A and B are shown apart, each in its own frame.
Chain A
Amino acid sequence: MRVNFTVNGRPQEADDVWEGESLLYVLRERMGLPGSKNACEQGECGSCTVRLDGVPVCSCLVAAGQVEGRDVVTVEGLADFAQQRSESGCATGACGTSLQDAQQWRAKGTDSQTGEGTELSPIQQAFIDAGAVQCGFCTPGLLVASDELLERNPNPSDADIREALSGNLCRCTGYEKIMDAVRLAAARQSEGV
């Protein structure tokens, strides 16, 4: 079948999609967007978390056909998504994203081999700065989930952070640096850094 949907602000079309394929598979194998990860492919680990019409979902549990006409944000588009959100007049970035807004922005292309000079969203920068990245396989899902948390709750308590990220497994860090990263991003956000 053919599936049309918007990924990181760009209309995309996938052909010859088998009905059993997940959104995760289509992103990774048909659209060249392997940032969403495949750690369990059964909705337990959160490594494939994307925003579907603004809502965080495990893309491994979404059949590709269900995404027809909808809007998807992946980790690859997170920096531009955050940029767009702050430019839309919401200084804290915590005003939520309307569906209309979500469909009007576009991710900028980047072909950087090293990532040098790449524009990062506050949560991405905070993960690097706080040492929250080790092997990094959980990182994309955690970034999407954390970004969504800070969008709806700019000053989360530790218990709030743990609750929001409880669907994202990490095996390397023991989560302490991930807590630090979210606290850091929240603090920078509230200081307008």
Chain B
Amino acid sequence: MPANGAPTKITQGSQTKGGIGESTLRPDGTLKVTGEFAYSSDMWHEDMLWGQILRSTVAHAEIVSIDISEALAMAGVYAVLTYDDLPTAVKNYGLEIQDTPVLAHGKVRHHGEPVALVAADHPETARRAAAKIKVDYRELPVITDEASATAPDAILVHEGRDDHHSGHVPHPNIVHRQPIVRGNADEAAKRADVIVKGEYTFGMQDQAFLGPESGLAVPEEDGGVHLYVATQWLHSDLKQIAPVLGLPEEKVRMTLAGVGGAFGGREDLSMQIHACLLALRTGKPVKIVYNRFESFFGHVHRHPAKLYYEHGATKDGKLTHMKCKIVLDGGAYASASPAVVGNASSLSVGPYVVDDVDIEAIALYTNNPPCGAMRGFGAVQACFAYEAQMDKLAKQLGMDPVEFRQLNAMEQGTIMPTGQPVDSPAPVAELLRRVKAMPLPPERQWESSEGADVRQLPGGLSNTTHGENVVRGIGIAVGIKNVGFSEGFDDYSTAKVRMEVIGGEPVATVHTAMAEVGQGGVTVHAQIARTELGVTQVTIHPADTQVGSAGSTSASRQTYVTGGAVKNACELVREKVLEIGRRKFGSYHPAWATAELLLEGGKVVTDGGEVLGDLVDVLEDETVEIEAEWRHRPTEAFDLVTGQGNGHVQYSFAAHRAVVEVDTELGLVKVIELACAQDVGKALNPLSVIGQIQGGTTQGLGVAVMEEIIVDPKTAKVRNPSFTDYLIPTILDTPTIPVDVLELADDHAPYGLRGIGEAPTLSSTPAVLAAIRNATGLELNRTPVRPEHLTGTV
């Protein structure tokens, strides 16, 4: 085994072009730039109908009556379905807790909950018909925060809970609670020379993937249905869909349609069951496409959070203890809340060594919009808070904030608050050093001989300043994210790899059910196949449920786990191919039996480089195909009282330095530069790695200065469900993002790689906040920061 962090030695495939480590280009690139790539909203079928969902206009109410007669009577309407039309006893679904009604039954629990479905021959007809459905609501008081959720007389969002968390939570309106206790925080606090307490608020962020929830359900002759859909995990969808339809899983065929981004927002079902129900009812293909307004109601969001932190440190800068309580608002349905709680609590201390901790994280049931998975998954909210705490501590101690962090930075061998040792490189101090060492962007870049270029100033083309009242600030932050599904989940992937001769050339075909959502998994699979099989031609089979599960495109796990499965299947195929070779040609050359054999450039070669034969001759008309599951190391559940347990597979680290300029008079922020340093273990595709880091960084920037779903605290209704009112960063809001990639191998992972997609979303936000604090001197305990928070005009 190589020394810790040293690059994994690659022998097989090192001579074959287009393998791992190269910035090969996307196999779907040409189709995506010509407009021919078929996204889920592009599906079309002869004679298809359009589905439309009627959603609740109130957040919490009993449904007194639903009258569909007028809608059903409209010309062009083929079906109107309500709860009463659901075909089986299974009427709910959910990722972990099946608490989400397919269609509302007697009650709605959040604004925008699906109540009825319409199928019609034109989308506008379907919309108008849905508007003709009369729903009589009797409104109930709304639960919107911890106080109203846990009040003694609080209405229960879900009566009669019997899920596996219901037994251990302190209140039925708490989905899950995960404490972590290690050492003795109270005792350790006595050693502290400074104690810093803070209360932090994290706003509700939306994934805002651009491709709307959509798909096409086609009824099949055997009574089943074929669903073409954009999702993050085909097999998880299938498990939830089939029982509601009353069909065996083999009669629900699923094919991944083009996915226009995901970021966690497609982990839960959206239109899948609805489209299938309408297709099976009408006997016609049914297409559903949300518009952006509906999309804001059609998927879960990032949990907004309240975070209460206490840290202590000695005067020489060593952390003594940490206590925190993290309250995540899960909204009306559980979605991924339990797992988000596990992440928030287990990563709440950040990438620092703290032996004495007292941690608690909970997720609430409320009548706010359901919240679940989004890139960073519980670690994002915690990072925002603990990094603010680090800056406050450094300031009180009179220390440099980076040096203070480096003094307390975790490293390989550090024990997490869960008792789990960090058993691969954790270059936290080094990432901080690197990001700090990057050259700073020049001051006053907007100045030129022709006056100020307002495009580069806060306020931009609104022409609000030519440099007056503009103050620069710099902030640094670092974070830790887990990779893969944690807490004892059987997190496997399946890959089917075939090798054959086509047109006189050896060709590998890789078939997985992995959802390509833009991350570039398809590029990496082809690279792995080239490296492992020594061929140039690799075909990526479309993802569907005709092959075993690939798990979710979530948790920064796909390159690690499905990539690992592809590598594993390729190795098995390679063995088989070599066996065939030995059988056919072994008698011609002793090296077939004695040497270590490799596949390179379509040939069988010895590790000394001697060519033994051509794959075309070895295979002839034989096809070698192997489907196999692959698992990473198992994990354990966290103890429900102490939080102890080896819960995570791998950790991922990134650090950011933000440079901002703030118009202090108007409270406008321009982020000038957002530099990132990240350890990726091994960059299988450097171009894609940098793309992931820059994209994640920008989503962190968004929630620092603009992105927030505003929910009315009195009515629990969403106020800004559109791209007019929910702003995501444009190219003008986004600065240059220099990236420094570190590659310290994790010996436990394929090729030493580290999951990379989420870590850059963590530290980006607190770095921007720190920079704004640095520029303004304000405390700023909430994100996103809006102008009124900077001008004191809240």
Q: Please report A residues at the B interface, Cβ cutoff 8 Å.
A: 18, 20-21, 28-29, 32-42, 44-45, 47, 74-76, 78-79, 110, 112, 114-116, 118, 120, 124-125, 127-129, 131, 133-140, 143, 159, 161-163, 165-179
> Which of B28-36, B434-442, B591-599 contacts its partner?
B28-36
Determine whether the beta carbon of A76 is less than 8 Å from that of B34: yes
Interfacial residues of chain B within 7-42, with CB under 8 A of chain A in the complex: 23, 25-26, 28-39, 41-42
Residue of A nearest to B676 (CB): A174
8 Å CB contact of B259 from A75, A135, A174: A135
- Name 16 A/B residue pairs within 8 A (Cβ), A-sorted: A18-B122, A39-B212, A40-B722, A42-B722, A45-B723, A47-B210, A76-B35, A76-B36, A118-B34, A134-B518, A134-B519, A134-B695, A136-B32, A163-B461, A174-B694, A175-B734
| Contact residues in B for A45 (Cβ distance below 8 Å) | 210, 292, 723
B375 to chain A, nearest CB (A): 10
Determine whether the beta carbon of A169 is less than 8 Å from that of B730: yes
Q: Is B469 an interface residue (CB 8 A)?
A: no
8 Å CB contact of A137 from B211, B694, B698, B731: B211
8 Å CB contact of A135 from B23, B124, B261, B731: B261
A162 to chain B, nearest CB (A): 5
| Cα A131 to Cα B33 with chains together (Å) | 12
Determine whether the beta carbon of A79 is less than 8 Å from that of B34: yes
Cβ contacts B543-584/A at 8 Å (1 or 0 each): 000000000000000000000000000000000000000000
B7 to chain A, nearest CB (A): 23
A49 to chain B, nearest CB (A): 12
Determine whether the beta carbon of A170 is less than 8 Å from that of B34: no
| Contact residues in A for B101 (Cβ distance below 8 Å) | none
| Cα A114 to Cα B210 with chains together (Å) | 23
Residue of A nearest to B687 (CB): A131
Q: Is B646 an interface residue (CB 8 A)?
A: no
A92 to chain B, nearest CB (A): 21
| Cα A116 to Cα B27 with chains together (Å) | 10
Interfacial residues of chain B within 728-771, with CB under 8 A of chain A in the complex: 728-732, 734, 736-737
A45 to chain B, nearest CB (A): 6
| Cα A112 to Cα B33 with chains together (Å) | 13
Given A33-B35, A39-B210, A76-B36, are A174 and B42 also a contact pair (CB < 8 Å)?
A: no
Q: Is B699 an interface residue (CB 8 A)?
A: yes
| Cα A139 to Cα B32 with chains together (Å) | 7
8 Å CB contact of A139 from B33, B208, B517, B736: B33
Determine whether the beta carbon of B25 is less than 8 Å from that of A128: yes
Determine whether the beta carbon of B210 is less than 8 Å from that of A138: yes
| Contact residues in B for A35 (Cβ distance below 8 Å) | 34-36
| Contact residues in A for B695 (Cβ distance below 8 Å) | 134, 171-174
| Cα A120 to Cα B26 with chains together (Å) | 15
| Contact residues in B for A36 (Cβ distance below 8 Å) | 35
| Contact residues in B for A37 (Cβ distance below 8 Å) | 39, 41, 210-211, 260
| Contact residues in B for A131 (Cβ distance below 8 Å) | 23, 25, 687-688, 690-691
B287 to chain A, nearest CB (A): 9
Given A171-B263, A175-B734, are A124 and B210 also a contact pair (CB < 8 Å)?
A: no
| Contact residues in B for A29 (Cβ distance below 8 Å) | 44
Determine whether the beta carbon of A173 is less than 8 Å from that of B210: no
Q: Is B425 an interface residue (CB 8 A)?
A: no
Q: Is B65 an interface residue (CB 8 A)?
A: no
Interface centre among A33, A133, A168 (most CB of B within 10 A): A133
